[in-house]
């Protein structure tokens, strides 16, 4: 009779899988294999930065001063992703160092109880769009693979997507930020994403801060579960 898989004990199934993996690893060791490569095969953030090089893959290179790759802890449990560099970021070559950055730093320190150095901060596009316009879909599509690689190297447990461009790009949806925020979504396997309002939007609409505060408390709970904060 065909095995439909129904009626099997899921715990027993999982234990069997673990036993099989252990046996396979023992076999590899006996064969002289001393390690199993990480999914990115030892790729580092520096390698990704090198691959980007003096990028001219899209029109955004024309007016940029600096590529803003990202900064922070390469082993961060928590990564913040914004839309793209603004004026100050373009000048300094660092993400979130202008007014929106000050707001983000306050969120990280005062709400989450972390330091900026504990987290990693990056953007969907790495060059400033002229006059801070929203990046075009083709610009996002060109640059997104580099962010995806950064996330594969860092392997955070939680991503906070700041604003609709980051949320839609990472989740792969056209849903707006207002309906996406306030709940966790999944990003490739066991990483969760919390979309929330962009700090620049909060500067213009301070009445929305309480929603972001709520979203960040959900992130803080997750950090507590992970033993990252008390």
- Name the site residues for ligand URA (rule: CB under 6 A): 82-86, 89, 95-96, 100, 123, 200
H-state helical runs in 82-171: 87-92, 99-106, 137-154, 164-171
Least spacing, CB of residue 202 vs ligand URA, in Å: 12
Cβ neighbours of residue 83 closer than 8 Å, sequence gap 6 or more: 123, 124, 125, 134, 135, 162, 163, 165, 166, 198
Q: Which is nearer to ligand URA, 128 or 185 (by Cβ)? A: 128
Least spacing, CB of residue 99 vs ligand URA, in Å: 9
Least spacing, CB of residue 108 vs ligand URA, in Å: 14
Which residue is at the shortest CB distance from ligand URA? 82
Q: Which is nearer to ligand URA, 103 or 228 (by Cβ)? A: 103
Least spacing, CB of residue 82 vs ligand URA, in Å: 3
Least spacing, CB of residue 162 vs ligand URA, in Å: 6
Q: Which is nearer to ligand URA, 40 or 211 (by Cβ)? A: 211
Least spacing, CB of residue 205 vs ligand URA, in Å: 15
Q: Which is nearer to ligand URA, 20 or 63 (by Cβ)? A: 63
Least spacing, CB of residue 225 vs ligand URA, in Å: 28
Cα–Cα distance measured from residue 22 to residue 13, given in angstroms and rounded to the nearest whole number: 14
Cβ neighbours of residue 207 closer than 8 Å, sequence gap 6 or more: none
Q: Which is nearer to ligand URA, 82 or 195 (by Cβ)? A: 82
Q: Which is nearer to ligand URA, 114 or 160 (by Cβ)? A: 160
Rg (C-alpha) for the chain, rounded Å, is 20
Cα–Cα distance measured from residue 41 to residue 37, given in angstroms and rounded to the nearest whole number: 5
Q: Which is nearer to ligand URA, 160 or 219 (by Cβ)? A: 160
Cα–Cα distance measured from residue 46 to residue 150, given in angstroms and rounded to the nearest whole number: 10
Please state, in angstroms and as integers, the Cα–Cα distance from residue 211 to each residue in 68, 119, 177, 194, 217, following that order.
Answer: 28, 21, 12, 12, 10
């Amino acid at each position: 009779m065909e095995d439909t898989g129904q009626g099997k004990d899921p715990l027993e199934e999982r234990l069997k899988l673990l036993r099989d993996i252990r046996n396979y690893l023992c076999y590899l060791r006996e064969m002289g294999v001393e390690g199993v490569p990480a999914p990115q095969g030892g790729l580092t953030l520096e390698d990704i930065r090198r691959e980007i090089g003096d990028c001219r893959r899209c029109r955004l290179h024309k007016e940029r001063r600096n590529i803003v790759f990202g900064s922070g802890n390469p082993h961060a449990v928590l990564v913040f992703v914004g839309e793209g560099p603004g004026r100050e970021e373009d000048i300094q070559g660092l993400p979130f160092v202008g007014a929106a950055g000050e707001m983000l730093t306050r969120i990280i320190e005062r709400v989450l109880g972390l330091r900026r150095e504990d987290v990693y901060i990056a953007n969907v596009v790495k060059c400033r769009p002229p006059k801070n316009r929203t990046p075009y879909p083709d610009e996002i599509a060109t640059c997104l693979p580099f962010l995806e690689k950064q996330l594969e190297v860092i392997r955070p447990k939680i991503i906070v997507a700041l604003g609709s461009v980051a949320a839609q790009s990472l989740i792969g949806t056209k849903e707006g930020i207002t309906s996406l925020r306030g709940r966790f979504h999944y990003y490739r396997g066991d990483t969760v994403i919390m979309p929330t309002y962009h700090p620049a939007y909060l500067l213009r609409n301070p009445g929305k801060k309480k929603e972001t505060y709520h979203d960040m408390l959900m992130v803080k709970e997750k950090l507590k579960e992970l033993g990252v904060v008390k």
